[in-house]
Amino acid sequence: MKGLQRIGFLIFGVVFLAGCKNSGAERPDRFDSGILHISCDESFKPVMDAQIQVYEAQYPDAKIIAHYKPEADCISDFLVDSVRLIVATRGFSEKEKTAISDSLKVAPEKFTVAYDAVAVIVNPLAEDSFFTVNDLRKLVSGNSNKNLIPVFDGLKATSTVRFMLDSVLRGKPLGKNVVAAESSQGVIDYVAKTKNAVGFLGISWLGNFDDSLQRSYLKKVRLARLESTDSAGGYVLPVQYLIYSRSYPFIRDLVCVLKERYTGLANGFVNFLRSDRGQLLFRRSYLYPAVRAFYARDTELK
């Protein structure tokens, strides 16, 4: 009888240790510790760097490694098992959701955490910094009679290019006059040295006037004003309130795609981005927070 008990305890011990090993393999991190690789649209590098810095300061045992890429490469990571979090300007389609579920055996989730604007920049010596949407449509399609050079962070695969193709050109191709820089930084550098260049990039690269680096960029380039979408008319800059009111015409979402089988570091970071602190960081970076309310109230000076 004692022999049977010993055998039973031995079997129980082996099963328990195997279970612990499997559990560790399935849960290599927690919300506050471990290593997480994320795939992130390069347009959002400044604001996401700030979010990661604060999160790692709050949880010293957590390490988040962001791989900044053109958006199409981020979308390709929908089916990469090792990438549990993707930050881009769109979530998954129903077809993509099914593919993720079938291939990775995980139910993906998507969260819009902020709203961003595509900024238009010009050289400080440029003769014109006021544009209508139609002006820019003609420019990027190659049909403008103005001697201007449109500059993007790539000719394909980036979220800025996709936005212009979908929302401005409505499916028509970019013109042969379009110049491709290697990155958003490259757009700033090109416009800074080219008097007749017109650049397109995410506002998180230039919108934070409290950031010394971004202030230095604004000495090299100038933000252009676009024709407002509201009935009052006028030309507006991509500032936070006008993103909120959608008076600025070029607005897009910042979306997190989460595909984690357990509550680990990816869940923890997404929850942080949606929390008061994460939303405040978006607000301080001059994007508009999508989760926490940012009230606009009428005031009267007496």
Task: Report domain extents, the chain.
Answer: 28-115+253-289, 116-251
179-180 vs 149-152, strand pairing mode: parallel
Residues 111, 55: Cα–Cα separation, whole Å: 18
225-227 vs 222-223, strand pairing mode: unpaired
Residue range 116-251 forms a domain whose CATH class is alpha beta
Say what the pLDDT of residue 292 is. Answer: 83
CB neighbour list of residue 113: distance below 8 Å, 6 or more residues apart: 254, 255, 256, 270, 273, 274, 278, 279, 282, 289, 290, 291
Tell me the per-residue pLDDT of 110-155, one tens digit each, with 9 for 90 and over.
999 999 999 999 999 999 999 999 999 999 999 999 999 999 998 7
Q: Across all residues in the chain, what is the average pLDDT? A: 89
CB neighbour list of residue 239: distance below 8 Å, 6 or more residues apart: 207, 248, 286
CB neighbour list of residue 12: distance below 8 Å, 6 or more residues apart: none
Question: Sheet containing 130-131: which strands, arranged edge to edge?
Answer: 130-131, 225-227, 235-236
Q: What's the CATH number for 28-115+253-289? A: 3.40.190.10
Say what the pLDDT of residue 19 is. Answer: 43
Residue at 115: amino acid letter:
Y
Identify the CA nearest to 29 among candidates 84, 87, 103.
Answer: 84
- Do domains 28-115+253-289 and 116-251 share one topology? The answer is yes
Helix (H) or strand (E) holding 135: helix 133-141
Say what the pLDDT of residue 85 is. Answer: 98
CB neighbour list of residue 256: distance below 8 Å, 6 or more residues apart: 85, 86, 87, 110, 111, 113, 270, 273
Identify the CA nearest to 46 among candidates 156, 243, 174, 203.
Answer: 203
Q: Is the pLDDT of residue 11 over 60?
A: no
